[in-house]
Each structure stands twice: as structure tokens, then as C-alpha cells.
Structure 1
Amino acid sequence: MGFLSQFFGFDGKSPQVISTSADLLRSFDRERTAGEAVNDRTAIQTSAVLCCARVIAEGLAQVPCKVFKEDIYGSPTEARDHALYYLLNRRPNDWQTSFEFREQIGIHLALKNNAYIFKNKVNGKVVELYAFDPSVVTVEQNDTFDLTYKVTLDGKGPKSIPADDIWHIKGPSWNGFQGLDAVQMACKTIGLAQATERFGSKLFENGARPGGLLTTRTGAQALTPEQRNEIKTLWAAQHQGTENAHKTVMLPFDLEFTPVSGTANEAQWIENRKFLIEEICRFFRVLPIMVMQSGATSYASVEQMFLAHLTHTLMPWYERFEQSAEVSLLTRQELLDGYSIKLNANALLRASHEDRASYYQTMKTIGAMTANEIRAKEDMPRSTDPEADKLTGAANIFGGSNQTPNQAPSPQPDDNEVAK
């Protein structure tokens, strides 16, 4: 943190974020939809939004992130001696694990479609990675198409940071250098969801009863202002709220009650909430079943469900993460030397024990995998048996492990020739 402290002029590892007045106004009340203020802080109070963000963030964080290098045969092997291996796989900075770091990045990407990571360098080598709050970072592109990142932290700034010192992961983008704000794009749907939840809370707060009018009967004496205030206070105290539901209504002063609003069923409150969950899922490209939406599309097996989730939701984010990490964290020479950064999604695709055993048996039988490759897939230690690194020939195709394709068996002498 020494470099950041000198550069930005703040102390501590959790700096207070202070934006400009325009940014604050945009953050607290970017757009009012259905009477609701929609911004990052209010959006995550909607269960479907928070669940979609967690599905993306945890999917990005729960798989191993490793640095690989191609060996002489072109096969990727773990480059544990590379400085980035420890940063990406275990500890990117002083206060976060790799899981926590990538989870934070995933939440930023899900809600803002932008993640800004500062690369703290020593002698040109990246030694620490810090994820900035996207709300304090702005991106500017000059006439030569070079990018500059301006960061405002703890009231210090904005400070300009060269693009080479920022690892910027972008979601879908309109201008090519900054992702589209996901919450802003979905603000109308999120605002409607917030209004629907507020309607439900008010419904039960008032005893799950419809609103109505208290009126004097025909010919009754008009009420004084003091009497009207007294009736309003008594009504709220005795009949408002779920704890007073189903109590007997006593109407003084020749009053009568006339309902004027519909019920929850008439407003299709429950159906509307279900629809809005699916609508929010569409914006975040998350399968409704992954946010615990009952009645969502079913799949033939759990494997197929996770395969669809991986293919349509996580893999695009994995590819964005991997490609941006490689071009931002690795040098051109390292890329030419065969270095790469990968997220291993194999753990998400593991089937049942029986299905995995059948798959591995088939792959070994046809000579596609060795025993040690199978053990590696199952996170088991390598076998020291030399045979564990040899491919088994497909007996049903080539006639056994000692036969090669298109090799005819050697002719054998018959018994008569042997006798002679």
C-alpha cells in the first residue's frame, strides 16, 4: 500500500469512496422508475438482482485460476515459478484471497460491466493487484485513441493513471473502451420490481386489507376536524398492521367503510413478481433456475442444467477474464513463449461417480487418456508406475496394445511345417 498511499494520499486498506457531486447524484438517484430510485445500492436490495450478481461472481471465483506454459510438445503445464501464479491463484494483495478478489471483480462486472484493477509494479513486474470501485473510475479516450483512467479516492484527485497500469475487464460495450452499465440498462425492470415489493410490504403492513373510505351515513351530523383526526388515529391504532388483522371493526359517529382498491389477486401481485424475476434474469443472462425460481425450465439431468449454465452464462465471462488477463498481465514475449492464464471449469462439469468412471474407462480404452491424466482430472497424485503414462492401444480396433494401425499379424507356421 506504500505506493498507493504516496500516489493517492490516503492511508488504510479500505478507503472511503467520495465521488464528485455529479457522480453522487447519479449514484443515489440515477433514474426514478415506477416511483423508485434505481442505483447500485438499491438494486442489490432486490433479491433477483443480488442473486444474479452472486451467480456470476461466485462462478468466476470458485474455479482455479492458474498460469500455464506450453512444454516442448505444446501441452500446457502449470507455471508455478511465474510471479503471477501466486497472485492469481492464492493472494493478489495483503487482505484478499484469490476467491475474494475474483468474487469482487465478478460483482463489479455483473452490475457495472466494468472491473478496474490497479497493477502495483516493482521494477516493471506486477507484485499486487487492487480492484477499484467502478464508481470512482472514469475512462477517457484521446484523439490518438489512447486511454487514460481517472480515479478519485478519499477526496484526492481525480488522478490520471496510464492505461498500462490498469487491468480493465469489460462487459458488453457500445464504444469499445467501457462496458455498458448493467443496472442502468435494467433500471426500468428493477424499479418495477422494487415498486412491487414495496406494494407487498405496504399491503401486509396495513393488515392485508384493501384501502377504502370512511364516510358518514346519510343525514348524520358532519364531523369536526378534531373528530376526524381522532377517528384516523383510532383506526390506525386498532385496525392497521398484520397484528390487528381480522379484528372486529367498530365504526363510531355513524360511519361506514367503503373499499375502493383491489386485492393482491386483482393486481396479479404474485404473478407480476415471478415475471419480473425472469425479466431481470434476461438482463443478466442468468438461467431462472439458477436464482431459485420455482417453475423454471427443467432439464433432463443436473449435468445438462449446469452445462447450459456454464455455456450461456459463465463461459463468456471466463473468456473475457482470460483474454483481458493475458493481454494486461503478460508481456508480448511471454505470450510468444507460450504462457497463458486459464480458469479451470472442469470441476463444474463433474458428473456422478458412475458417469465419470464410465467416461474415463472409455477414454482409456480408446487410447485417448493415460492413467495419470485421469488421476490429474480427479485431483489425485501421479502414479510412479511407468505404465501410468502410456496410452493403451484400442484392443477392439488395433488388436491390442502391441499392434499398430494397419499392421497385419505375422504369419504363423502350421503344425506340418513344424514337424518337417
Structure 2
Amino acid sequence: MNISPRHMAQLAVQKGADITLTQPDGWQFLGMGSPTWAKVPVGENTQLQIAAAFSAIRLISETVGTIPLHLYRRTSRGRERALDDDRYGFVHDQPNEYMTAVEWKEAMAVSLCTMGQAYNYCQAFESSGRIVSIQPVHKSRVRPEVNQAGEVLYHLTKRDGSALTLKRAQICPVRGFGGIGDLEGYAPHRLHSNSMALTVAVEKYGAEFFGSGGRPTGILNTKANFGKESRDSLRAGFAEYMRQSWLKGELPVLDSDTSYTPVSTPNNDAQFIETRKLQIAEIARIYRVPLHMLMEMDKASYNNTEQANKHFLDYTLLPYLKRIEQALNSCLLTRVERKTLNFEFDVRGLLRGDSTQRSEYYVAMRNAGAITQNEIRELENMPLIDGADDLLVPLNMAPSDLLRGLLKGKEGNP
């Protein structure tokens, strides 16, 4: 079997498959997949090449990446950020030497969106168990399996080709949406390959149509007699003549013995624009992203930014955030530590709204005695001031027995 160097660079090993030169069933081309109804192969990278899917994946992953992630410690008075814990710095600032926390969270979200699974190799000192690095690894480099004892082990292939057998806490798997008993989540391009293939086919049709100057395909008729080779030569020559005519902006002319009959369906009959819009909505359904956030504004119905962001948070982002939080709680914290520590995303920034909405919220919370002036200033990234840490409430919101006592005191005084 001859494989060019260019194609060899694109080959990847399927997890768990035996590889030999005479039995190449374990090899697959990256970005390629099984045939679909539209006769367009769909692979892992296809969804990134579809504009609507790329926009949805980027929207989810970049938003997850920019939401602050904190390690909290529960105390007798509530909870506080565990700034003195080394793990706080890893998840909030820098998980490893070559990535920031934003890039790391973004990488996990991209992996969940495109492959339904994310892995993080947690390196730690053998003596103390203290974590020194958290590195995301590609799903193709990790193979989970259940051994005879019923324990789940993860086989990691490192960049240098060496292999490691790790336990769950060492690889920190974040499983996306998947079936019962599955060790990994579903990859969207495998479940919805036909829908994505249709999107690619529609784009391909439009590109070929406009790439040929809007000239439809058809049948070339001639009175000349010819064999197969002559027919192929005539067809190639006519195609090149039409291409050159289009590039030069000249009107093509045929001789009296040759005619051209268009046979393709006009774009208005094929509902080309409607089909493209429908596929954008189909992509939005697959990734569960509000349609207007993919720049399809025909049916946008939100009255304000806060309402739109809350819908996006509740029905799109929250499953990703909770999966990541619980995976980190399960793998980076011991059973005893989980009683007082937990990782959690701070989503308040998404729900800030405009200045008028924030002001109304702060006034209501301040008047209810639920927030101090300094807490408001902290939320608005303003410096704290002295004497602004007291909770104040209106007098008409005081306990009723206190008001009765005050009234009785006034009645007894002249």
C-alpha cells in the first residue's frame, strides 16, 4: 500500500484498533467520515468548516472561557474564595506553563462541543499528591476501558509516544451528553452527520454555481459521430472554453452543429436561500444556541440583553458549566475536602444587563438590606471605601415588635 507523505501526516490511529501495513483498517483520515445521504463525507473537522456551526462552537467555548472559575471554601459565616489554596491559582489564573485559564476553559468547551468529551492530565508530586500542572489532551489520545475488577482506567498516549495508564483523578474526564453506560459523550458530527452533510452540499452547490459565473450545468448536443475518447475530449474542451469565456467576460459562441441545453434546477425553484436559512436553524438546534446569536435575526424576539443572556445561560451554557464544575470537584478534591471546598463559575457578569437595570437591582438589594455599598462597588470594579460595609434597612422594614416598642415609648413621653 503506497501512502504519500502528505496523506501520511493526516492519518490518525483509531483507539483500540490493530495497525499493520497489510491491514490498514485502524487508520482513518482526519476530517473524513462515513458516507451520508448527501454523499458528502463528514468528519471531526467538518463542523468547524461550516460557518454556522463554527459560530455556535466559538460562541459557547469563548463564553465559557471568559467566565471566572473560583474555588470556594464554606465557613461558619457563609463562603469565601480559597485564595490560599494552590488549586485556586490553577483554575483561576494559569493551569499550566503554556496556557492561561481562559485558554484552558475554552479548550475544554471546544472539545465538549465537537467531540462530546474533554480530558485533563493532572500532574502531581508522587510524595505529596500536590498538583503541579493541569493540561488538556485531545480525545484521540485517551482510551477508557473497564478492567476485570470493574475499575475504569484511562490509557493516555503522550506526545513522545509513551503510554500511561491512569485513574480517573489523574485524567479528570469531563463527559458530555451521552447514553447510559457510555464512558464518553456523543460527538455531534457523528449523530448529525446527515444534517451537516446537507449544509456542506448546499454550500458546495452555491459555490459551484456562482464560481461558474451563474452558469447552470446542462447537456452538450452535437451531430458529429465520436467514440468515448473523442467524447471526453470534446467535453473537456467545451468546459475549458466556457471557463475562459466567463473569466474574460465574453459571450460563448457555438457552431451550427452544436447546441447546449441547461438541465439544472433554477435557484428559486430549489429554494436555495430558504434552504441555507433552514440549515442555520438546524445547526442552532444541534448546539442549542439561540438563533439570533448566530446572526440570523429574522425571528429575534428578546426585549433586552439581560433576557437574551439569561436564556443563553440557562439552556445552553449551564450544562457545560455544571459538567466542568463537578468533574473538577470529583478529581481535584478528595472526599473529605468536598465537604468544605467546591469549584464554581461566577456567572453574574452575564446577567449584569445595562446600567439602568443594574442600578435598579442595586437599589432594590440595598434597600432590602441584602447588600452593602462596598459590595456594590466591588461588583462595579470600583475601589472600596471606609465605613461602607454596614447593612442598612428602612425603618418601615424593621421587626414589628421593635416598632411597637418604639411607639409605646413615644406615648409614655410627654
Separation in 2, partners of 1:110, 1:85: 25
1:141 and 2:138 aligned: no
The 5 Å alignment of 1:8-407 reads: 18-20=12-14, 24-25=27-28, 27-33=30-36, 34-73=38-77, 75-122=78-125, 123-154=128-159, 156=161, 158-174=163-179, 175-216=181-222, 220-222=223-225, 231-240=234-243, 243-244=246-247, 247-336=250-339, 338-385=340-387, 388-398=388-398, 404=402, 407=405
Gaps of 5+ in 1: 1-15
Give, as a single letter, the amino acid of the residue that structure 2 aligns with 1:370: T
Give, as a single letter, the amino acid of the residue that structure 2 aligns with 1:297: A
SS in 1 for 2:198: helix
**CA 1:259–1:399 in structure 2 vs 1: closer, same or farther (change >3 Å)?**
same
Deviation at 1:100, TM superposition (A): 0.6
Separation in 1, partners of 2:261, 2:225: 18
Deviation at 1:222, TM superposition (A): 3.8
Q: How many residue pairs align between the two structures?
A: 392
Deviation at 1:242, TM superposition (A): 9.4
TM-score normalised by structure 2 residue count: 0.86
**CA 1:280–1:363 in structure 2 vs 1: closer, same or farther (change >3 Å)?**
same
Question: Retained in 2: the 8 A contact 1:322–1:343?
Answer: yes
**CA 1:299–1:65 in structure 2 vs 1: closer, same or farther (change >3 Å)?**
same
Deviation at 1:304, TM superposition (A): 1.0
Question: Retained in 2: the 8 A contact 1:186–1:280?
Answer: no
**CA 1:265–1:343 in structure 2 vs 1: closer, same or farther (change >3 Å)?**
same
Question: Retained in 1: the 8 A contact 2:12–2:30?
Answer: no
Which deviations, in whole Å up to 9, do the C-alpha atoms of 1:123-145 show, x marking residues without a partner?
Answer: 20111001110122111123443
Deviation at 1:306, TM superposition (A): 1.0
Question: Retained in 2: the 8 A contact 1:204–1:242?
Answer: no
Which deviations, in whole Å up to 9, do the C-alpha atoms of 1:309-367 show, x marking residues without a partner?
Answer: 1110011111111111111111122222x211111111111111121111111111121
Query: Sequence identity of aligned pairs in percent?
Result: 27
**CA 1:259–1:369 in structure 2 vs 1: closer, same or farther (change >3 Å)?**
same
TM-score normalised by structure 1 residue count: 0.85
Separation in 1, partners of 2:392, 2:168: 51
Aligned-CA RMSD value: 2.7
Alignment correspondent of 2:410: 412
Separation in 2, partners of 1:115, 1:65: 17
Separation in 2, partners of 1:168, 1:242: 57
Deviation at 1:25, TM superposition (A): 1.8
Give, as a single letter, the amino acid of the residue that structure 2 aligns with 1:409: L
Deviation at 1:412, TM superposition (A): 3.0
Separation in 2, partners of 1:28, 1:241: 33
Separation in 2, partners of 1:90, 1:242: 59
**CA 1:295–1:406 in structure 2 vs 1: closer, same or farther (change >3 Å)?**
farther
- Is the deviation greater in 29-38 or in 404-413? 404-413
Deviation at 1:111, TM superposition (A): 0.8
Give, as a single letter, the amino acid of the residue that structure 2 aligns with 1:136: R
Deviation at 1:157, TM superposition (A): 5.0
Question: Retained in 2: the 8 A contact 1:43–1:183?
Answer: yes
**CA 1:299–1:344 in structure 2 vs 1: closer, same or farther (change >3 Å)?**
same
Separation in 1, partners of 2:123, 2:173: 14
Question: Retained in 1: the 8 A contact 2:169–2:332?
Answer: no
SS in 2 for 1:70: strand
Question: Retained in 2: the 8 A contact 1:114–1:134?
Answer: yes
